[in-house]
Amino acid sequence: MDTFEAVRTRRSIRRFQERPVEEEKLHTLLDAVRMSPSWSNRQCWRFIVVKGKNLRERISELSYVESFFSTRGYKVNPAKKGLSEAPVVIVACADPSQSGDIWAQQYYMTDIGIASQTLMLSARALGLGTVFVGVFDEAKLREELGIPGDIRVVGLFPVGYPLEEKKDGPPRKPLSEIVFHEKWG
Ligand SMILES: Cc1cc2nc3c(=O)[nH]c(=O)nc-3n(C[C@H](O)[C@H](O)[C@H](O)COP(=O)(O)O)c2cc1C
């Protein structure tokens, strides 16, 4: 699968088969993530690979944050089931002190964002599915996984074989709305 096909056909996958992910595939995935660009090549990211069922279930529970979801009419994080169902959950963390912090922009979020896209596209190319889960109880997750207080937890990625092939996803804005020429507007 070439890059364009992976970009075009990637979808957020929230339901998974029980089938385990082969160690070799997981290694290939993580090794691709490792190659992502980052601020000054600082590689501020750290990834926790969680396979234990009890821990995955706990992570799944922590993906609901009432103050966020209740005002939006959600009873659960849409990715909750996938987080306990997928055989692997990758927890993406960042050390902000190891990335750029300039002109009120903290680049650790950018670094993790880029690594996340590598993860999602590589998963697709390997026949795996995943979804970026950005809403969770960070403080409780830190406690559960022994993550130090100065490290930010930025995303959770359930990884596994998709339960079904998803052809369509939410539509995108047309180019005419998002691309300007020569100047803004
Ligand atoms: C930063 C970020 C945070 C996200 N958080 C969640 C989340 O907490 N739960 C969830 O089910 N999906 C989450 N998503 C997935 C988006 O809803 C999804 O990417 C978007 O609707 C487009 O759909 P697609 O990925 O299938 O193209 C998140 C995506 C991003 C990029």
24 pLDDT more than 90: yes
In DSSP terms, 152 is beta-bridged to 94
| Model confidence, pTM | 0.96
In a domain, 133, yes or no: yes
In a domain, 58, yes or no: yes
Counting the structural domains of the chain, the total is 1
Beta pairing class for 152-159 and 88-94: antiparallel
65 pLDDT more than 90: no
Q: Is the Cα dihedral 95, 33, 7, 64 positive or negative?
A: negative
> Ligand 1: distance of its center to the CA of 139 in Å?
21
Probe ligand 1: pick from 74, 131, 172, max atoms within 8 Å of CB? 131
Pocket of ligand 1 contains residue 135 by CB under 6 Å: yes
Dump the DSSP string for 100-119. Answer: -EETTEETHHHHHHHHHHHH
The CATH number that applies at residue 151 is: 3.40.109.10
27 pLDDT more than 90: yes
Residue nearest to atom 19 of ligand 1 (CA): 12
Pocket of ligand 1 contains residue 12 by CB under 6 Å: yes
pLDDT, tens only, 130-162: 999 999 999 999 999 999 999 999 999 999 999
In a domain, 4, yes or no: no
